[in-house]
Amino acid sequence: MALYFSEKCRLCRNAGEKLFLKGERCFTKCPIDKKGAVAPGQHGAKRRRKVSDFGLRLKEKQKLKRIYGISEAELKKYFGQARKVREATGEAMLQILESRLDNLVYRLGFVPSRRSARQLVSHGHVRVDGKAVNIPSYRVKPEQVISMDEKALSMTLVKSMLDKKDVSLPDWLERKAAVGKLAALPGRNKIDTNINEQLVVEYYSR
């Protein structure tokens, strides 16, 4: 699991946009909503400069890592895997990221953030086809069923999410109560992550 010791809000301000790293708090207590996307640091508002082509690609790569909470080594590995399939490399890379177990626990609305999802998986509270899986990067296949154990279902964080009535899931996921599944791998037009994956591909292809 990737570890980020910087304050999550600083990562968003450095990216210049919301990355939704804190779940629901991003909608209620976000500094960007109050002050705009000011870069962190004493002179953050003054140090915005024209970014080079390499800088743009690097920034997009860093943003992708932070959104999904993965390490450089993991992202580089996913890029290598994506290059070996028939689909466009960028789309294939996003499909790999979206099929991670921690991402799907978050996408299915069991927890408010990917960070919470990683903790839930790492502590052994998530089941795939009835078997406990404690690896956040586990690749879920279409039609596999994701559920949680009794201890997870009794957690306040999980219960509050499951009690929500206005949950809107992507159409490539299915959920009934506390059980969900990956119906199919999503196409790029169905992945709502605000990322220019082509810049990431160009970064690693240089």
Decide if 165 is inside a domain.
yes
The percent of residues above 90 in pLDDT, for the chain, comes to 71
Domain CATH number, residue 62:
1.10.1050.10
Q: Which domain holds residue 75?
A: 8-96
Query: How many structural domains are present in the chain?
Result: 2
Select from 35, 61, 96 the last residue of a domain.
96
The residue length of the chain stands at: 206
Q: Which amino acid is at 52?
A: S
Domain CATH number, residue 156:
3.10.290.10
Q: Which of 37-46, 66-75, 109-118, 148-157 has the lowest mean pLDDT?
A: 37-46
What does pTM read for this prediction?
0.79
CA distance 45 to 50: 14
Decide if 112 is inside a domain.
yes
Across the range 108-113, mean pLDDT stands at: 96
CA distance 115 to 7: 13
Mark whether 80 and 16 lie in a shared domain. yes
Q: Which residues lie below 8 Å from residue 138, measured CB to CB, with a gap of 6+? A: 100, 101, 121, 128
Mark whether 34 and 107 lie in a shared domain. no
